[in-house]
Structure 1
């Protein structure tokens, strides 16, 4: 039976066509840094409750951000299934910067948990719907009154951004199967 693969559509980033989630992560962060993504996500959510229009002077920025985050969601969806074959390299640094992240100690040690928790609670389609909803509300010239909970998806997406950045920083390695001991 043939597996259906999710297209990451990384051709959005010129010169970066990636066929696996780890290469897509590299393309994602080659385009912009973690602070850019987190700041824009926060601003979109804030503007979804305001009468002001997000990036009114250049709304195409919002579309570019939407496209990048939509691709990112697909990458994260695939990463949840990679935890059985891959692991994040152990940190060589002390955990002094850990407090700056949205991750718990357990999630910091194994960032794959973030994706598993997020997609246990929400589907990929629900995250994509959240993204469409905040885009629509933040680009509309009236006070937003979201009909659904924006906070849960926002928190999960922020954690996924932190988890992916941590994975990129620390690196990943394939889990080696230990030879079974013969008694």
Structure 2
């Protein structure tokens, strides 16, 4: 049976389609820094509640940002399944936890937990709806009170960005069956 590669839609930012979610994360962060994504996501959500249009001079940037975040969301959805076969490498140097302050100690040690929790609470379609809603509301010059919850998906996306940033910083490695057997017997 032939395995189909999943397109994560990274062609807009890296000029290729990544079938590997870890390569897609690399392409995602090659396109923009972690702070860029977190700040722009926050701006979009804030503009959703105000009459101020997102980046008044060039609101088309919102569509580029939406495309990048939507691709990232696809990657995150796939990463929740990868936790059984992959693990994030432990860091030998002292890392600064401050810039990853949205993660708990448990999530910091195993970032795959972030993706599992996010998609247990919200479905992929709910995250997609959230992105469409903040895009629409942030580009509207009218103040509307969104009828759906914007806070929960926003918090999960920030945590997923931090977790993916941590994974890129540390790297990932495949869990070997011999290590699994040893850890079960201990």
Shorter-normalised TM range: over 0.9
Please state whether the residue corresponding to 2:147 is helix, strand or coil. Answer: coil
Q: Which residue of 2 aligns with 1:164?
A: 164
Contact 2:10 2:71 in 1 (8 A): yes
d(CA) in 2 for partners of 1:5 and 1:168? 21
- Find the aligned partners of 1:3 and 1:14 in 2 and give their Cα distance: 23
Aligned to 2:91: 91
* Structure 2 Cα separation of the partners of residues 70 and 21 of structure 1: 13
- Name the residue aligned to 2:151: 151
Counterparts of 2:106 and 2:93, CA distance in 1: 16
Unaligned runs of at least 5 residues, structure 2: none
What is the deviation of 1:59?
Answer: 1.1
CA shift, 1:86, in A, is 0.2
- Residue 129 of structure 1 corresponds to 129
Moved over 6 A (4+): 1-4
Structure 1 pair 23/14, CA: closer, same or farther in 2 (3 Å)?
closer
Provide closer, same or farther for how the CA distance between residues 100 and 30 of structure 1 changes in structure 2, counting only shifts above 3 A: closer
- CA RMSD between the two structures: 1.6
Name whichever of 114-123 and 11-20 sits farther off: 11-20
Note if contact 1:16-1:27 (Cα within 8 Å) is conserved in structure 2: no
Q: Distance in 1 between matches of 2:50 and 2:159?
A: 24
Aligned to 2:25: 25
CA contact (8 A) 1:44 1:138 kept: yes
Distance 2:14 2:87 in 1: 29
Question: Partner residue of 2:34?
Answer: 34
Q: 1:158 to 1:18 in 2, by over 3 A?
A: same
TM-score, normalization: structure 2? 0.91
- Indicate the SS of the match to 2:83: helix
* Conserved? CA contact 1:8–1:71, under 8 Å: yes
The Cα of 1:2 is off from its aligned counterpart by 6.7
CA distance, structure 1, for counterparts of residue 166 and residue 16 of structure 2: 21
- TM alignment of 1:1-183, pairs within 5 A: 6-95=6-95, 97-101=96-100, 102-178=102-178
Map Cα deviations across residues 156-177 of structure 1 (whole Å, 9 max, x no partner). 0000000000000000000000
Which is further off, 163-172 or 7-16? Answer: 7-16
Does the 8 A contact of 2:111 with 2:167 survive in 1?
A: yes
| Kept after mapping to 2: 8 A contact 1:25/1:75 | yes
Does the CA-based 8 Å contact 2:79-2:112 persist in structure 1? yes
